[in-house]
Amino acid sequence: MKKLFVFFTALVLALSCTQPDPIRDAMEKYAKENCENPGTYKFEYMGIVREYTYLADLMQYQDGIEKLAAKAADKAPYEAELEKVQGLLDEYGIEVACREYSLYFYTLGGSSGKMRLPGVVLARYDADGKLMMMTMDPDSLPTYPALQILKDRGEL
């Protein structure tokens, strides 16, 4: 009886220590609202969080500008853009621009209604934790999100 009491106490303690995850909750809500059979929704796992830094995206952008400048007859506009990029690199450096979360799930469907149909929800949150976008279509996400953030702010 004592072992059973210790087991239940440990179980209650473990369950009480779990923290609610607002990002996962929002992603699950989105998945259920946008999948074909929400009644059969089953969470599988959260993927690895991917961080996008200003440095990585600005370096890609700088490289592209330098290649265009090398081919151009008038290099002045490119040099001005490169100066702007250098200023942004100095200002933001290795700061995280945003984080991308992925939630994997499946629903049941098909002709028998028992086939596992995999799905994924991708969400990008800015450095302050504000939702930027959420989708089930990975192709709809911008390739260089830090550049998009800077463009939306009017800094690029």
For the segment 105-147, what is each residue's pLDDT rounded down to a tens digit? 999 987 777 889 999 999 999 999 999 999 999 999 999 999 9
DSSP string, 79-132: HHHHHHHHHHHHHHTT-EEEEEEEEEEEEEETTTS-EEEEEEEEEEEETTS-EE
Model confidence at 12: pLDDT above 60 = no
What pLDDT was estimated at residue 20? 78
Whole-number mean pLDDT of the chain? 88
24-33 pLDDT, tens digit per residue, is 999 999 999 9
Among the listed residues 55, 40, 44, the one whose alpha carbon sits nearest the alpha carbon of residue 107: 40
The answer to pTM > 0.95 is no
Task: Indicate the DSSP class of residue 13.
Answer: H
Q: Which residue has the tokens 């990008």?
A: 124
27-85 pLDDT, tens digit per residue, is 999 999 998 888 999 999 999 999 999 999 999 999 999 999 999 888 888 999 999 99
How far, rounded to the nearest angstrom, does the alpha carbon of residue 138 sit from its chain's CA centroid?
10
Q: Which residues contact 26 (CB under 8 A, 6 or more apart)?
A: 123, 131, 134
Task: Indicate the DSSP class of residue 139.
Answer: G
127, two tokens: 């450095």
